[in-house]
Structure 1
Amino acid sequence: MDFDYSPKVQQLQARLNAFMDQHIYPNEARFHAEIEANRAAGDAWLPTRVMEELKELARAAGLWNLFLPESELGAGLSNLEYAPLCEIMGRALWSAEAFNCSAPDTGNMEVLARYGSAEQQRQWLEPLLAGRIRSCFAMTEPAVASSDATNIESSIVRDGDEYVINGRKWWSSGGGDPRCQVFVFMGKTDPNNPSRHQQQSMILVPRATPGVTIERQLPVFGFDDAPHGHSEIVFENVRVPVANLLLGEGRGFEIAQGRLGPGRIHHCMRLIGLAERALEHMCRRSLGRVAFGKPLAQQGVTLERIAEARILIDQARFLVLNAAHMMDTVGNKVAAKEIAMIKVAAPNMACRVIDWAIQVQGGGGMSDPFLAPAYAAARSLRLADGPDEVHRNQIGKLELARYQPPSAPR
């Protein structure tokens, strides 16, 4: 593949980097200060004023909905073209929202664009693309090992012109945001289907539907992750119209796989941006901090870690670009191994690089306003969208399949 970015992508990179320099980095302190003020007032999940201002600036700059491939609704970028832009956004944990390119909305918009009916798109996709509302993806459950999505127990039962929904979900990102107006909910419509992958369906649940209760916001290593956050939600005898079903009964697993492929590459590219910035922190700190009579940058262990970080980041980037190229050229199904590989490689790389940056920072690194939440975010992504173990198993099976003897003709 050609690793050179096209002139279009290079122009977008320059514009996006300029926006980050002019608007994102200078507003990091203000963003966190507004969250603290909201928290002190009793609701850390209220939208911040600075984010709403940044959204208007990004929209005016033409840096809006860059993420949506294979659709006229987005910027018309391929996965390979979007990847380096996603990396730039990842340099600040919260900045992707300013460009309407943040999870879980990106994945939910892709679901609606690919699988939604015309009416579902009118009601939910259009306001999401405009940034007027936000959404939540409700899949993981506390009572079962959700790394195996066929374990999901929540029920979706048809009753006349409605479906009745019951279940408990958690790690439902974005559920606590007051702008969240719709949940993409996964449950079983046919638990007795012989095919374990055709028992599940996905359905749209409006936030205001009776029976939906957000019980709590889940902390991540002590961080509440506000104003994004992750909710534990109870759905009790929730009734929605039959028309809210996505694609058809038994198609939930298919939709989930279509949703998670692009989402995984987005997470991985943002992690590369996060790791790049952590490496910058490590280098600047090591040049200015003296221990045992010389700068940390002259200590052998620090030099080794800086070099290793550079190698690991570049390795991960090339893996991600290759996966993006394959997704664009042969499709997500054929690129399954490459997608699984980056989902293991990128979070582990980011955890290691950020950990080294914290170590160079010293005691202050554990409470550094960038490094500490960056580590928590990177570590969580070794579980989100499938744990390392599931992806490694898939990679191993696909690799072994290359050496299986061909089936004998019948």
Structure 2
Amino acid sequence: MKIAIPKEIAAGEPRVAAVPDTVKKFKALGAEVLVEAGAGVSSGILDSDYEAAGAAISADPVKDADIVLKVRRPEASELGKYKRGALAIAIMDPYGNDAALKAMADAGVAAFAMELMPRITRAQVMDVLSSQANLAGYRAVIEAAEAFGRAFPMMMTAAGTVPAAKVFVMGVGVAGLQAIATARRLGAIVTATDVRPAVKEQVESLGAKFIAVEDEEFKQAETAGGYAKEMSKDYQAKQAALTAEHIKKQDIVITTALIPGRPAPRLVSAEMVKSMKPGSVLVDLAVERGGNVEGVKAGEVADVGGIKIVGFTNVAGRVAASASGLYAKNLLAFVETLIDKETKAVAVKWDDELVKATALTRDGAVIHPNFQPKGA
């Protein structure tokens, strides 16, 4: 059984799908591990580190590989080297990318999307959305601090007092919670908002203040499954007015609202941006899906009248060493379920709920129900 770790070819992707610790564990499972030369350099891992862990360094690791582990979905130029029947496991970004799914099906690979892992107890250790969003939330605050021309904590000096920065986090999922925690550690005064009432307690437990129109509709704003309900137009208008007034007084705004497969919801209008003080900073973690902030530009720091809108893509990748370490462990935990411990061979249980949730292609066809070709 061969497991391949190719170098990422997507522009601006410094992460890698294996680290020396996971290589050792794959070896213990009976796998031969082949790593492409230079694959880990951007994450601070040398070829010699992989070799010390038991991997072989190869110029063409995917040739004859049974499992190919990647960060990003394999591109057409890579698929030609894969053997038919190989398992390709990565963050696949399948929504709206029908041609890429067809290319993987046509290449005969069994493709698995790590970001479709179900939110169940046994899959927590495989949850790439959480592991990477956690780091993105942390890095968002670091980016904000770098762009902000002032200190975060209150400082009392002989020359006078520096006031604490005011940070507002919009969207309190994994990234938002980590952003709150990081901003608090840096000494900021933090507020946060979300449409789910259950997160109020989490926000307050981190030492931040929760901002929302807390009427009867808000109290019923969560489904039995823990998801946010769509709010009425009347509620949305009241919440928007409260948010607009609050943003005027903030130094930093961090937005994290993303809905898989859909454009990011617009949370901050151009008018709200203009209402902020010059020198203020907005960091938009949803820029890859169109952004939460009007005027954000992917991959850039836009300047709107002295207010900076940070639109960096792949924010988790800006903490590449940590992101690779966590992602590699997510992959290891999933791959362990695909290997027969006794025969030390690939043995996919196609009726396993983890496999059914993540498998996109098999035997030349797109098999995931959410991504079936139209008319199929």
Q: Counting helix residues as a fraction of each chain, which structure ranks higher?
A: 1
Smaller-chain TM-score bracket: under 0.3
TM-score (norm 1): 0.25
Name which structure has the greater RCO, CA cutoff 8 Å, separation 6+: 2
